[in-house]
Structure 1
Amino acid sequence: MQLKTFAAVFAILAGFFLAAAPALAADPENTMIITLKDGDVTIALRPDIAPRNVAQVKKLVRDGAYDNVAFHRVIDGFMAQTGDVKFGNMEKDYNADRVGTGGSDLPDLPAEFSNEHFVRGVVGMARAQDPNSANSQFFIMFAPAAPLDGQYTIIGEVVGGMELVDNIKKGDQAQNGAVTDPDRMIKVRIAADKK
């Protein structure tokens, strides 16, 4: 009798989770798509752990600020950094000497540290020495980096196209990953938008 009861409860729970599966699908309002030279990278944003940072990134995306912005610092086996909208736009105002030092016209953000871990595919906000200095720059992890845990704000994770991130042109290790003639984010959009 207990086996039949267990089987019935299991069937009910399985049915519930299968019915709920569509609700667990990616939220287009919090899905960022970056078009690279080889195709699209899909990032699930995490407003649940970094609401202010995610909101600012989404605003910059919707303003078109990230289009044509360089991956100016790319360290093999570590991460690819981009998002300097002031000095990193390769179609206008690109400054190879200053890229990586700029942000946007929006204010810097307070840190939103979480218990999440910096593993392959995680997207974090770049910042200066002050933990509350993130603005527009972000990085995508190639590999785990536990020393970043609790030190940088995580805003999302790659859920599609990580192999394209792996193909981003790497920088010179001796120059802290600075990239000559860097790859760029050709176009960045939020999936919910019809552009």
Structure 2
Amino acid sequence: MRKLALLLALAASPAAATGIAIKVEGEANGTITIDLLEDVAPGHAERIAALAAEGAYDGVVFHRVIEGFMAQTGDVQFGKMGQDMRQAGMGGSDKPDLNAEFSDIPFDRGVVGMARSQNPDSANSQFFIMFDEGHFLNGQYTVVGRVTEGMDVVDAIKRGRGQNGAVVGQPDVMTSVTVVE
């Protein structure tokens, strides 16, 4: 019932949800709090809040983690712990893709961006958190939020291997993602 009330509130006022709290387990353990930037990327912030309120992100792994760059998660279709992880990172949600909402905010440490394919208007459910600055992404990807607490947890997320940063073995997982105000 609480999730339904939250979903109805989100539908009525996308700005009602100002952030998410992500509980992480694995090599990293703790909570990451993200301020969603509704004024910068309203469609993307609303999407993340809606998926969090539905519980869609619960149990989703960090499937792509590149040292010195970023940690990627949010594949609600193929990235759930316990599923066949070979397709993790190739899916999205059952909602339509989003149009890009580019801004002047630089990709600095702790910035949260929306993952996408080659098409700028293909972001759906996946997002990434920057370990360090990546200004080559500026104006190319949508900035949707900023870590306000738990950067130490982000720093502890299990790193992937190879150039694409695919996590081998047991990945870290978002055990629960809740909307916070």
| TM-score computed with the length of structure 2 as normaliser | 0.87
Listed as ranges, the gaps of 5+ residues in structure 1 are 1-26
For residues 61 and 38 of structure 2, what CA distance do their matches in structure 1 show? 25
Instruction: Find the partner of 2:17 among 29, 32, 51.
Output: 29
Percent of residue pairs identical: 53
Equivalent pair of 1:77/1:143 in contact (CA under 8 Å): yes
Q: Which amino acid aligns with 1:119?
A: D
The Cα of 1:173 is off from its aligned counterpart by 2.6
Cα RMSD over matched residues?
1.2
Q: Report the counterpart of residue 154 of structure 2 in structure 1.
A: 165
Match of 2:58 among 67, 75, 82: 67
Cα distance between partner residues in 1 of 2:112 and 2:137: 12
After superposition, what is the alpha-carbon deviation per residue over 1:5-63, rounded to whole angstroms, capped at 9, x for unaligned?
xxxxxxxxxxxxxxxxxxxxxx9831210001211111011010100011111110000
Check the 8 A contact 2:17/2:49 in 1, yes or no. Answer: no
Q: 4+ residue stretches of structure 1 with deviation over 3 A?
A: none
Query: Following TM superposition, by how much is the alpha carbon of 1:96 offset from its aligned partner in structure 2, in angstroms?
Result: 1.7
Larger radius of gyration: 1
- 1:191 deviates by 1.4
* 8 Å Cα contact 1:84/1:137 also seen in 2: yes
What pairs with 1:138-157 in structure 2 (closer than 5 Å)? 138-157=127-146
1:106 and 1:152 mapped to 2: Cα distance? 19
- Which position in structure 2 is the counterpart of 1:126? 115
Is the Cα–Cα contact under 8 Å of residues 64 and 71 in structure 2 kept in the other structure? yes
What are the superposed Cα offsets for residues 111-131 of structure 1, whole Å, 9 maximum, x if unpaired? 000000000000000000000
The 5 Å alignment of 1:95-114 reads 95-114=84-103
